[in-house]
């Protein structure tokens, strides 16, 4: 019997899958789930919709300049908006700076980088997971990545400064997916959870 996905898991999976498609097209995007101050850059003519029900429309809106804002229930709130960034991330552009700032308010942020074709998930001002869109069959690992996010929880994952984008500083749990944080702590936590699920 298959476990039914929660709305939150379904939303994360949709955002990551859409992000991977955008990365493969060598485009960039930023999705913010939660509340954030923003300024619209385009007329908001598309009415709110549940993003998990229409990922193609979500993808089209994400390709515009600016961020896509989604509320915690999974409905589109705004698109093509500018989000104020309060912190810059060395060696990265304005999109990453906006993502770091937006994620500090308890929001989930999914950012797609056109430069390195990576999808990064941020919470609490830290990059907690990175997916490589060029990894063969990466789409098949997305639900596993979401399960890892749900199992570990953002509270136990921390970042390791600006060098955190080096895979050796994270744990590669699935091909093309790196989880960032204290390798020792994450290793112990995941081993314990894995052993408990096997017993």
Chain segment 82-116, per-residue pLDDT in tens: 998 776 666 666 777 788 888 887 899 999 998 88
Q: Tell me if 1 is assigned to some domain.
A: no
pLDDT for res 105: 78
- Segment of 1-5, 10-14, 138-142 carrying the highest mean pLDDT: 10-14
Q: Tell me if 156 is assigned to some domain.
A: yes
pLDDT digits (tens, 9 = 90+) for 116-164: 899 999 888 888 888 999 989 888 888 888 887 776 554 444 433 333 3
Gap between the Cα atoms of 36 and 107, Å rounded: 8
- Segment of 44-48, 93-97, 158-162, 179-183 carrying the highest mean pLDDT: 44-48
Q: Tell me if 172 is assigned to some domain.
A: yes
Q: Tell me if 2 is assigned to some domain.
A: no
Question: What is the total count of domains within the chain?
Answer: 1
Q: Tell me if 124 is assigned to some domain.
A: yes
Find the mean pLDDT for residues 67-79: 96
pLDDT band at 172 (very low <50, low <70, confident <90, very high): low
pLDDT band at 53 (very low <50, low <70, confident <90, very high): very high
Q: Which domain holds residue 173?
A: 7-198
Surface-to-core class of residue 194, CB atoms within 10 Å of its CB (0-12 exposed, 13-18 middle, 19+ buried): exposed
Gap between the Cα atoms of 171 and 196, Å rounded: 20
DSSP 75: B
Q: Output 178 or 40, whichever has higher pLDDT.
A: 40
Taking all residues of the chain, what is their mean pLDDT, rounded to a whole number?
A: 79
Q: Tell me if 55 is assigned to some domain.
A: yes
Q: Tell me if 74 is assigned to some domain.
A: yes
CATH number at residue 111: 3.40.1700.10
Q: Tell me if 65 is assigned to some domain.
A: yes
């Amino acid at each position: 019997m298959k476990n039914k996905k929660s709305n939150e898991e379904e939303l994360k999976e949709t955002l990551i899958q859409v992000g991977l498609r955008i990365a493969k097209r060598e485009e960039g995007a930023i999705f913010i789930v939660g509340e954030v101050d923003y300024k619209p850059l385009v007329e908001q003519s598309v009415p709110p919709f549940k993003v998990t029900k229409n990922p193609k429309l979500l993808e089209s809106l994400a390709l515009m300049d600016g961020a896509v804002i989604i509320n915690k229930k999974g409905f589109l709130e705004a698109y093509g908006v500018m989000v104020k960034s309060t912190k810059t991330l060395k060696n990265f552009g304005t999109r990453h700076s906006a993502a770091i700032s937006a994620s500090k308010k308890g929001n989930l942020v999914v950012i797609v980088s056109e430069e390195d074709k990576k999808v990064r998930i941020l919470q609490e001002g830290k990059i907690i997971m990175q997916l490589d869109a060029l990894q063969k069959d990466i789409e098949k690992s997305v639900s596993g990545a979401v399960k890892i996010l749900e199992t570990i929880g953002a509270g136990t994952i921390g970042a390791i400064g600006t060098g955190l984008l080096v895979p050796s500083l994270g744990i590669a749990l699935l091909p093309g997916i790196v989880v960032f944080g204290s390798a020792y702590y994450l290793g112990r936590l995941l081993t314990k959870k894995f052993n408990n699920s096997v017993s």
